Amino acid sequence: MIDPTAASASEEATELAAALSIDDVRAAAARIAGQVRRTPALRVPALDELADAELFLKAENLQHVGAFKARGALHALSRVEPELRARGVITYSSGNHAQAVAYAARAYGVPARIAMPIDAPAVKVAGVRALGGEIIFAGTTSDDRRRAAIDLAEETGAVIIEPFDHPDTISGQGTATLELLEQVAEATEGGGLDALVVPVGGGGLIAGACLVADAEGVRVFSAEPSTCDALARSLEAGERVDVPPGPSIADGLRPVRVGALNWAIARASVQAAFTVDDDELGLAMIRLLLRAKVLVEPSGAAALAVALRRALPIDRASLGRRPRIGVLLSGGNVAPERVGELLARYGGQV
Amino acid sequence: MIDPTAASASEEATELAAALSIDDVRAAAARIAGQVRRTPALRVPALDELADAELFLKAENLQHVGAFKARGALHALSRVEPELRARGVITYSSGNHAQAVAYAARAYGVPARIAMPIDAPAVKVAGVRALGGEIIFAGTTSDDRRRAAIDLAEETGAVIIEPFDHPDTISGQGTATLELLEQVAEATEGGGLDALVVPVGGGGLIAGACLVADAEGVRVFSAEPSTCDALARSLEAGERVDVPPGPSIADGLRPVRVGALNWAIARASVQAAFTVDDDELGLAMIRLLLRAKVLVEPSGAAALAVALRRALPIDRASLGRRPRIGVLLSGGNVAPERVGELLARYGGQV
């Protein structure tokens, strides 16, 4: 049984973090094999030029429900006792995790109830409903919707599938990085990555990435909107801090804080935290559209925006070649109007 | 040595066609292995619903230069004697084949000269130049630019890489279908396709597809713009006919006629020819963008537009399940303004 309040306390998180490793991600990969897609690691020479690097773009926008979140949700549901799972599952999310839980619940034939913000993008609301999920609208912050989910869990006895702050979610999300490293090894005959850049909201994707990257000797860097930089500020402060999210086109990267367990894992592994503004996000997204031919949402383009700065602390001289940089493209769910607006603004600059 | 005038006569084409088979496509696949990408065969439940079928979308927009044309060009160049190839290569094209030949020439370290129409999309012109190709602008029809290429070949002694009407081009393009059938077999445990829909301009892609599909018992259907339906009209007439191309957003599907060899292969294999209008092309393209998360050019969406009609002559009742339909997404090179325009028009209807 999953306890919705697990990993909420800092000491417990530190203990849990110490117990997690790449083995948990490998176990997650085995559990969800056949349920998730092995998304391609795209190679795009024009973007390599801009980044002065060999970029391996892990296209999780092509994952089920258009986001890596399907990995964590499928894994988390697979770990719930069948009798408990039969009561249905509950979650809270600004978007992609909501669709992922609806998708996973449908795969297991159980109902999903999801607390979403009242300002959730219509495309994500429609996505949840199309997958049979029931939506409960609750406030605008991650705290608001978490509260609604906890209330509902107490009322129904159904389990909460945590969006990021849970070992099962984290190890599920880590499978994206596990696959990427396999794909890079295949493409480079065992060469490996010199760096991995990961977008950060609540920290599920980056915590999973750290479990894998630490074991494989790959350095991890984070990418956040400059207006919602909870991980960057926490690393600076040396402790987990809250950051009231400011406006950003990256609607998937706007939690109040990173998760406790996510923080406990990431603080020891993330080499440096980067923030990007809306211009960088929009341009990176349109470059992916026109150069890589894939639709990625603004949040999903954050890691590429960082890579395009050429500012990762990599000793290029000692490498004697372009660095190989993994870039996690986290999702592709974005309103048509937003795509049109960003195309009009950045289409001439790619 | 490749003779630029080969396969121009009907009798010669019939003989050549009879001599070609899936073995030539397999040989081409072996020659270009490692030079081309194994593009994904995308599965998109929302599009399956619309088509009432299991669609396998072969994403050649993710191929080098953003189009399947890289396959034929790389294969054709691999078959030119090195001493001759060193003089450089020549071709004529409205767009994607031009970029493909520039790409392949660069891979072999030889110059490429390309006759393009004066109204070629800026994005395709820029693509050729970025790859180091030299452009000679010549008229607006495929005849105009073919004439310019032949003049240049006579002048320089360099070989012409035919855009579609040549065995090496055709067998190279066939590798896309060969891969797709492998991918479908992997995904369905040997189930195989019930139908394959292929966009048709000059007929390179469909001729290659026919060589493979005939051997594997897969029925092939063609997709053309209703204003440039040379194959449909030729099949109706029982002989190859010219069709002055009318206006269409599918700029890659506007030759005056299908190739002689292409016709000789396709006439015996294509089960039925379908035409689609600009509305269907635009909507299919935007559905691919928003549902499949990939950018496909209007020409590249033609086969999906046909599949979405649910009009393929497949005996659904006797199958006892949804038909499995292969859909070749031929390319993804499209001007940002066109994407924006079609998004604004169709973004609300996907």
What digits encode the pLDDT tens for the residues A226-283?
A: 999 999 999 999 999 999 989 999 988 988 899 999 999 999 999 999 999 999 999 9
With CA atoms as reference, the chain B residue closest to A296 would be B293
- Do A112 and A156 form a contact (C-beta atoms < 8 A)? no
What local confidence, expressed as pLDDT, does residue B6 receive? 46
**Shortest CA gap B187–chain A (Å):** 10
pLDDT at A127: 87
Give the three-state DSSP class for B35: coil
Q: Is B187 on the interface with A (CB under 8 A)?
A: no
Residues of A (8-27) whose Cβ lies below 8 Å from B: none
* B124 among known catalytic residues: no
Q: Does the beta carbon of B340 lie under 8 angstroms from any beta carbon of chain A?
A: yes
Q: Do residues B62 and B38 touch, judged by C-beta distance below 8 A?
A: no
Provide the 3-class DSSP secondary structure of residue B294.
strand
> What pLDDT sits at residue A7?
47
Q: Nearest CB to B340: which of A43, A294, A343? A: A343
Residue for token pair 């195309």 = A343
Model pTM?
Answer: 0.94
Please pick, among B8, B78, B93, B94, the residue that the annotation labels catalytic.
B94
Residue A313 clears pLDDT 70, i.e. is over it: yes
Q: Is A340 within 8 Å of B344 when comparing Cβ atoms?
A: yes
Contact status of A301 with chain B (Cβ, < 8 Å)? no
* CB pair distance less than 8 Å for B293 and A62: yes
The answer to whether A68 and B46 are in contact (CB under 8 A) is no
pLDDT in tens, A292-307: 999 999 999 999 999 9
Between chain A and chain B, the number of residue pairs with CB atoms below 8 A apart is 63
Q: Give the residue ranges of chain B where pLDDT is below 50.
A: 1-7
CB A53 within 8 A of CB A325: yes
B33 touches chain A (CB under 8 A): no
A3: confidence class by pLDDT, cuts 50, 70, 90 = very low
pLDDT in tens, A51-104: 999 999 999 999 999 999 999 999 999 999 999 999 999 999 878 999 999 999
The verdict on B127 touching A (C-beta cutoff 8 Å) is no
A201, A246, A254 from A137: Cα distances, Å:
20, 21, 17
Interface test with A, best of B188, B293, B295 (most A CBs within 10 A): B293
pLDDT at A9: 66
Cβ of A340 within 8 Å of Cβ of B343? The answer is yes
What b-and-e string marks burial along B13-38, b requiring 16 or more CB atoms within 10 Å of the CB? bbebbeebbbebbbebbebbeebbbe
* Measured distance CA(B59)–CA(B52) in Å, rounded: 20
What is the rounded CA–CA span in Å between residue B281 and residue B322? 24
What Cα–Cα distance (Å) separates residue B77 from each residue in A100, B3, B108? 46, 13, 8
Residue B157, pLDDT score: 94
pLDDT of residue B9: 66
In chain B, which residues have their Cβ closer than 8 Å to the Cβ of A290?
295, 336
Q: Nearest residue of B to residue A34 by CA position?
A: B187
CB contact under 8 A, A347 and B332: no
Closest by alpha carbon to B177, among B26, B14, B18?
B26
| pLDDT tier at A4, thresholds 50, 70, 90 | very low
Find the DSSP H helices in chain B.
10-19, 22-32, 45-51, 69-78, 82-85, 96-108, 122-130, 142-156, 167-188, 204-216, 230-237, 260-269, 278-287, 302-307, 316-319, 336-346
- Residue B201 has what pLDDT? 95
Measure the CA–CA gap between B279 and B276, rounded to whole angstroms.
Answer: 8
User: Which chain A residue lies closest to B297 (C-alpha atoms)?
Assistant: A293
CATH numbers and ranges of domains, chain B? 4-67+167-349 (3.40.50.1100), 81-160 (3.40.50.1100)
Chain B positions touching A289 (Cβ under 8 A) are 295, 339
Residue A348 exposed, middle or buried by CB count within 10 Å (0-12, 13-18, 19+) = exposed
Q: From CA B335, how far away is CA B310, in angstroms rounded?
A: 29
Q: What is the side-by-side strand order in the sheet with B41-42? A: B41-42, B54-59, B324-329, B195-199, B219-225, B270-276
pLDDT tens figures, A12-45: 999 999 999 999 999 999 999 999 999 999 999 9
